[in-house]
Every structure is written in structure tokens, then in C-alpha cells.
Amino acid sequence: MFQVPASDFIGLIWFIALWVGYTLYTDHGKPREHSLRAAMHRNRYRWMAQVLKRENRMTDASILAQLGHGASFFASTTALLLVGLFTVLGATDEAVGVLRKIPFTGRITSNQWELRLFVLIVIFVHAFFKFTWSLRQFNYCAVLIGAAPTEKARGHEDWTRRTAWLSTLASKDFNQGLRAYYLGLAVLAWFVGAWAFMAATTLVVLVLYWREYRSEALRTMELVPDSEPGRDMLP
């Protein structure tokens, strides 16, 4: 018999609703025009416009390589985490026995333990695909920079727009992989209880929202218009 209390399913539904809802809000909502991603995209466009003015593009290749290393690191780490989760899943009885000795965790059944591990596995599988796809897109962007036309060549504006957008898409998938990590941390509160799980999920989403739309980093990345090069950046 699959013995899982209703509160666990309520917490899981809340978790999925907040994750999907926040993703739709950031990817398709109107506020995305005034987000950290939008500010970074404008800077990526400026970056690609500068690429066309340089004959030596080793600096640009180095920047892309660094971005790719970040995605590669997280992809490798995620693979190790998945191996660990599958290993723990195979030792459910021992793990549940240890967990019951930890204060504030309550009486968790084997079915509840397996459900929590299954959710964590799904989260990190999702993160792995996001990081690897981000890495591939950064590689594609490096190829485009290698094939960049000159500033006076026909179609250079289209190249600038497309390359900047591809870099932004790679960053978008990388951010979604990181988001999975943050929400995976919220799942740890589920081992304490369903209500702690819901509270942790809400807190994580609020932190993500603040960073994307209200942080000091966003105000810093909002560059002044080219027509006002001397104006200070205001909050």
C-alpha cells in the first residue's frame, strides 16, 4: 500500500505550481522586459557589436570559454548528485532508520522517503539537461563568433542580433538549471514536513524574484543610454 499523507501531495502540488508559474512569469510575462535577463541581453548585444570592430577576438573566445566552463562544471556535478541519489534510493530502509534519529524530521515511512528522492531525481535530471543544452549553445555561439563578418560586411547587424540572442538563450537555460538547484534545496525541507516544504518553496521563489527584478545587480546592469554617457546610474 502506497502510504503517503495528503499533506505531502498538497506540498508537492504547491511546489510544482510555484515552479511552473514562476518560469512562465519570467519567460513570457511582461515584467521580463525589466529583468536582469533583459539587462544582460542588452549588454550582450553591445558585446557582439564590439566583436565586429576587433580583428583579434581571442578575448571574446576566452569569455565564452569561461561561460562554457561554468555550465560544464554544473553538468558534471549534477551527474554525481544523480549517482548519489540512486545509491541512496537503493538503501531506503537504512536511510529511513538514520533519518528517524534526526530531531524535527518526524516519523517518515519508506514510501515518503522514496517519493522525496524521486522528486529530487526528477529535479536534477531536469537540471542536467538544462546545463548540457546551455553548454552546447555556448559552443554554437563560439562558432558564430569565429565566423563573424567585418563591421562593414553586408548582414552584420543581423549577425549581431542573432549571436546576442543565442548567447541569451544559453544563459536562460543555465539559469533554469540553477533554479532547479535552488528548488532542490527547498525539497530538503520536505524531510522535516510538508508545511516546511511549502514554506521553503515559497521563500526560494521570493528570493529568485528579488534577484531577477529588484536586486542591486539589476540596477547596476542597467546601462545609461548612449546619448547620456555621463549620467550616473540611479536606483
Radius of gyration of the chain from its Cα atoms, rounded to whole angstroms: 22
Cα–Cα distance list, 173 to 67, 121, 138, 213 (Å): 12, 18, 11, 18
Whether pLDDT at 127 is above 70: yes
Instruction: Assess whether pLDDT exceeds 70 at residue 235.
Output: no
Q: In the chain, what percentage of residues exceed pLDDT 90?
A: 46
Determine the Cα–Cα distance for residues 166 and 157; give it in Å rounded to an integer.
14
Q: What is the pTM of this model?
A: 0.86
**Cell digits of residue 91:** 538503501
> Which is nearest to 134 in space by CA: 217, 47, 73?
73
Out of 28-42, 46-60, 180-194, 203-217, which region has the weakest mean confidence (pLDDT)? 28-42
Alpha-carbon distance of 110 to 94, in angstroms, equals 10
Long-range contacts of 159-162 (CB under 8 A, 24+ apart): 159/48, 159/52, 160/45, 160/48, 160/49, 160/51, 160/52, 161/45
* H-only helix segments in 90-155: 92-99, 110-146
Cα–Cα distance, 53 to 57 (Å, whole number): 9
Best mean pLDDT range from 5-9, 102-106, 181-185, 229-233 = 181-185
Flag whether pLDDT at 131 surpasses 50: yes
Looking at residue 147, what is its pLDDT?
A: 86
Give the phi and the psi of residue 171 in degrees, each rounded to 5: -65, -35
Distance CA 87, CA 166 (A): 37
Indicate the pLDDT class of residue 172, thresholds 50, 70 and 90. very high
**What is the rounded average pLDDT of the residues 140-168?**
86
